[in-house]
């Protein structure tokens, strides 16, 4: 049985079951790079402050880098009795270099150490998520640009409403992702705060230099209150909140993709590589990716609720409950990144059925609003025009025809304002092109949206590149 690094006060060893129950090494081992980077910065600071000799600092640095190599080569044996990634690394370091290793934890607690590791891990993960969001945005822009002239029905209440451009519909999701990108930028800003130096909760009596450590690890700010530093999990809650909203957006997209690729719609056909079949029914082509993303959304939202519930009743400062912050966080990170990546592939790979969408627009009354607007432009009040248009629809339903098929004479019985130009006014292309108000579905506005999207993605890439560079701390 391994000797506990905190066992001086205890007369009994910890029960084996308790060891397993309280251990976090099974999941927090993935923070090894952050833990080593933080320890290297801490050691350098202790040496600068004269708390640690240059010789001990050099031994610690070499020992930590050796451990880093061992972990990355799969040669490091993690021990559950040592509870977490911090104690596993410290014990291995002390075994390797002796007393110098035992001096590393001077002026530091696991409370501020784990807070540091988690801040760095979330910060890094946010940058990865930002990159994945941008990649999906790019997929939407590419697919929208390739189908700029495709007209489809727009829906309200899942009922055909007005003709829109398919590209316009896709760019709505681009806009959602833009807000997601901005939310994660906010998460980064409130994660980019350095907690190390807070100690267990009250700071330290030793002359440490927190600014030095913050600069070494590329943190913009430092916690100004030691109790807040070790107990704050707002940034994790905020990550999970942003992740939940993002997944809800992907879930809404999933619902539409599932509908669109059904035989009832047939608006798109998914690539075979992104679907599965049935073990019983040979004809099936199932949209598994979209269904799984829709399902995984509940999981991510669940992680947010679990974390909110865990934190809501905690007194200051650190409590063991906070160990529960990582499993859900790690799973949410993995789920979000994977979902974004697979959707970028799916959007790029799907075949757009322009002919089916066009037929859905023509075999319907989604141009009825345009019929009313035609009369408004002729001088009729909108409410009256709305009624006349509704009467025209009712007449067509009675006869089993569409507005484009209704003879001019019948139109003129409803209103003398109708003329031959009514048929041009209710063509799908006209319906779309005339909706040229800012942000509308017209060809001009959609092109403007696509151009603006390209400019925005250039700015996003510049930000991602800058933040990626900031993560280089090892």
Query: Any idea of the CA torsion for 255, 259, 260, 263, to the nearest 10 degrees?
Result: 160
- Other CB atoms within 10 A of residue 455 CB: 9
- Report d(CA 238, CA 246) in Å as an integer: 12
Is 157 noted as a catalytic residue in this protein?
Answer: yes
Q: Give 133's Cβ-side CA count (13 Å radius).
A: 32
**The tokens of 89 are what?**
């690394």
Element (H, E) at 90: helix 85-97
Three-state secondary-structure class, residue 362: helix
Q: Give 28's Cβ-side CA count (13 Å radius).
A: 30
Residue with tokens 């030793």: 206
Pairing of strands 351-352, 268-269: antiparallel
Catalytic residue among 262, 278, 359, 465: 278
6 contact partners, CB below 8 Å, separation of at least 6:
none
8 Å CB contact between 473 and 219: no
Catalytic residue among 73, 86, 119, 157: 157
**The tokens of 114 are what?**
């784990």
> Is 153 exposed, middle or buried, given 0-12, 13-18 or 19+ CB atoms closer than 10 A?
buried
Q: Give 22's Cβ-side CA count (13 Å radius).
A: 12
Is 24 noted as a catalytic residue in this protein?
Answer: no
Q: Which residues are catalytic?
A: 157, 278
């Amino acid at each position: 049985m391994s000797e506990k690094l905190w066992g001086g006060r205890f007369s009994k060893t910890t029960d084996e079951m308790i060891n397993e129950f309280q251990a976090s090494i099974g999941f927090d081992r993935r923070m090894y790079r952050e833990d080593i980077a933080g320890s290297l910065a801490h050691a350098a600071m202790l040496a600068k402050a004269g708390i640690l000799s240059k010789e001990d600092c050099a031994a610690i640095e070499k020992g930590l880098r050796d451990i880093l190599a061992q972990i990355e080569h799969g040669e490091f044996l993690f021990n559950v009795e040592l509870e977490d990634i911090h104690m596993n690394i410290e014990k291995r370091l002390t075994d390797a270099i002796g007393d110098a290793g035992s001096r590393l934890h001077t002026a530091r607690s696991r409370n501020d150490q784990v807070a540091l590791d988690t801040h760095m891990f979330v910060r890094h993960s946010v940058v990865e998520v930002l990159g994945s969001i941008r990649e999906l945005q790019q997929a939407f822009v590419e697919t929208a640009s390739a189908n700029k002239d495709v007209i489809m029905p727009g829906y309200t209440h899942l009922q055909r409403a007005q003709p829109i451009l398919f590209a316009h519909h896709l760019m709505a999701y681009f806009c959602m992702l833009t807000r997601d990108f901005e939310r994660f930028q906010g998460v980064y800003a409130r994660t980019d705060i350095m907690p190390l130096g807070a100690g267990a909760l009250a700071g330290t009596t030793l002359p440490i230099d927190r600014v030095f450590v913050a600069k070494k690890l590329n943190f913009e700010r430092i916690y100004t209150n030691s109790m807040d530093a070790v107990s704050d999990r707002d940034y994790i809650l905020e990550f999970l909140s942003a992740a939940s909203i993002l997944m809800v957006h992907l879930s809404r997209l999933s619902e539409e993709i599932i509908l669109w690729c059904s035989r009832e719609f047939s608006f798109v056909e998914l690539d075979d590589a992104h679907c599965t079949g049935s073990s019983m029914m040979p004809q099936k082509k199932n949209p598994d990716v979209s269904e799984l993303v829709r399902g995984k959304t509940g999981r991510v939202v669940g992680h947010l609720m679990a974390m909110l519930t865990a934190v809501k009743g905690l007194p200051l400062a650190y409590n063991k409950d906070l160990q529960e912050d990582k499993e859900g966080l790690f799973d949410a990170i993995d789920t979000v990144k994977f979902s974004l990546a697979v959707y970028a592939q799916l959007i790029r790979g799907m075949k757009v059925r322009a002919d089916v969408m066009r037929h859905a627009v023509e075999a319907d009354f989604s141009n009825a609003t345009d019929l009313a607007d035609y009369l408004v432009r002729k001088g009729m009040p909108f409410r009256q025009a709305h009624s006349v248009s509704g009467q025209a629809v009712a007449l067509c339903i009675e006869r089993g025809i569409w507005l484009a098929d209704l003879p001019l004479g019948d139109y003129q019985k409803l209103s003398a304002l109708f003329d031959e130009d009514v048929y041009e006014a209710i063509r799908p292309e006209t319906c779309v092109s005339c909706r040229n108000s800012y942000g509308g579905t017209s060809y001009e506005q959609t092109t403007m949206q696509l151009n603006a999207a390209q400019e925005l993605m250039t700015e996003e890439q510049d930000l991602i590149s800058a933040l990626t560079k900031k993560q280089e701390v090892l």
